Amino acid sequence: MKLSKTLFSKLLFVFMGIAIAIILNFAYSYYYRLSDNVDITLYEDTLRDLAEKCLTSGDVPVSSLLIYNDSIIGKGYNDVSKNNNPSGHAEINAVKNCFERIGYKNFKKLNRNKLTLISTYEPCTMCRGLIEEYNIKKVIFSFPKNYKDKLIIFKKNYTYYQKLKQSTNKRLQYNLFKQYKSFDSINYPF
């Protein structure tokens, strides 16, 4: 009897966590879709031209622009099929194009409050990782993912963390980090 109560409480806790996460995800999605209704008419022709390049290779027609002070500093479109590139999403290609144009170091110096990523479709989990990693604070998309896709993404995120395991040997990466000039061994002691 005691074992079943423990199992029940664990399952209830997991279920409540999932339910709260789903509710927060939908609430957040709904909020940011309505809160910043931004006009991107100035960039529509460029976005359309870029997205149409996807159609010839059979890629999903999505395009993206990286804007700084109202100037385009990066352009991208999906080229996953065309280049056999699993990371060939429009948003990633726009940031990559920006790096090619101005360089990584100059990109890092940009004022993030003046930097905007515009995409024709709501960014996926991989592209959101890039957006977070490079601190792109403003993201505008024209077409949202549907709720079914958001549930699938949520399930994938949950499944990812179930599969994630840490090795017992941290020394390999630590020794590599120690060779890197910006590594801070005080904040990352072994």
Q: Is the pLDDT of residue 35 over 50?
A: no
**HEC sequence for 30-73:** HHHHHHCCCCCHHHHHHHHHHHHHHHHHCCCCCEEEEEECCEEE
The residues with which 65 forms a beta bridge, in sequence order, are: 75, 118
Confidence label for 183 from pLDDT (cuts 50, 70 and 90): confident
Contacts of 63 (CB under 8 A, 6+ apart): 46, 47, 48, 49, 50, 51, 53, 54, 75, 76, 77, 78, 90, 119, 120
52 is catalytic: no
* Under 8 Å between Cβ of 108 and 114: no
Q: Which of 44, 52, 91, 133 is catalytic?
A: 91
Q: Is the pLDDT of residue 21 over 50?
A: yes
For the stretch 36-94, pLDDT in tens is: 566 788 999 999 999 999 999 999 999 999 999 989 999 999 999 999 999 999 999 99
Confidence label for 108 from pLDDT (cuts 50, 70 and 90): very high
Lowest model confidence (mean pLDDT) among 23-32, 59-68, 162-171: 23-32
User: Quick one: which H or E segment has residue 115?
Assistant: strand 115-121
Would the pTM count as exceeding 0.85? Answer: no
Q: Within 10 Å of residue 107's Cβ, how many Cβ atoms?
A: 18
Q: Give residue 31's pLDDT.
A: 47
